[in-house]
Amino acid sequence: MDKSIYLSMTAATNSLLSEAAVASNLANANMPGFRADLEQFRSMPVFGDGHPSRVYAMSERPGIDFSHGSIYHTGNPLDFAINGEGWVAVQAADGSEAYTRRGDMRLNNVGLLENGNGQLILGNGGPIAMPPSEQTIIGSDGTISIRPTGQDATTLAVIDRIKLVNPPVEQLYKGGDGLFRLRSEELASVDASIRVAPESLEASNVSMVGAMARMIEIARRFELDIKVMTAAKENDEVGTRILSLN
């Protein structure tokens, strides 16, 4: 009874953790550039005094799904999507530099460019400040140009260039804020070869159908775990009654 109820109890607990990871992916399915968390179960032996005859179930996040989402046209001059590999440098809430694939930019109330999550977009010298303008153009290399207010259509001024980086994905980790950083805590170098698609966004790489199917699978596993615990309890009660007859 002890072995079965321990295994089913840990399995049920970790089923809830796994369900939370899948639910997080579903909640961010419409976030531009979102990278889904991977999750899996495995059996782990319980080490201690004597032979490790007991095992428990453990849910873990083995990594991140770095596959690309589809790119779609928005027509918004402040939107951009990265073509192929690469990341956009942003300023996280704690002031540190972090990386994302999200390219839905907007102007905040002090004239700085930020993405839809409120993180400041970084350029060559820090956060990008935008002066008043009548038109904004994002080049394929991430250069931001404007037509200043009151100037004719042939007058363009280069404001800054979005900091685009391309560190190896095995050197990146995903923080609790959903942003990526280098494991070494260093800053990634600018990669001039990265190209972007103006007036476009990259969709998340979450498969809605796959995530929903995974949720159903986890729910069924949780129900099975509860049934095993119930059966272990009933077996224990039957054993107790048999012993009381002696």
Q: Phi, psi (5° rounding) for residue 39?
A: -145, 150
What is the per-residue pLDDT for 17? 80
Q: CA–CA separation, 89 vs 94, rounded Å?
A: 14
pLDDT digits (tens, 9 = 90+) for 193-204: 999 999 999 999
Is the pTM higher than 0.85? The answer reads no
pLDDT digits (tens, 9 = 90+) for 56-115: 666 666 678 999 999 999 999 999 999 999 999 999 999 999 999 999 999 999 999 999
Tokens for 171, please give them.
């050197």
* Residue ranges per structural domain of the chain: 2-65+206-244, 71-202
Residue 121, class by beta-carbon neighbours within 10 Å (0-12 exposed, 13-18 middle, 19+ buried)? buried
* Sequence-ordered list of residues with C-beta below 8 angstroms from that of 215, at least 6 positions apart, any chain: 19, 22, 23, 26
Residue 199 pairs with which residues in a beta bridge? none
Q: CA–CA separation, 134 vs 239, rounded Å?
A: 82
Tokens for 204, please give them.
């998340």
Q: CA–CA separation, 129 vs 120, rounded Å?
A: 10
What is the per-residue pLDDT for 42? 66
pLDDT digits (tens, 9 = 90+) for 208-236: 999 999 899 888 988 888 888 888 777 77
- Are 38 and 65 in contact by the 8 Å Cβ rule? The answer is yes
Residue 79 pairs with which residues in a beta bridge? 104
Q: CA–CA separation, 145 vs 155, rounded Å?
A: 10
pLDDT digits (tens, 9 = 90+) for 103-142: 999 999 999 999 999 999 999 889 999 998 889 999 999 9
Tokens for 25, please give them.
């992916």
Strand runs (DSSP E) across 25-64, as ranges? 40-45, 55-60
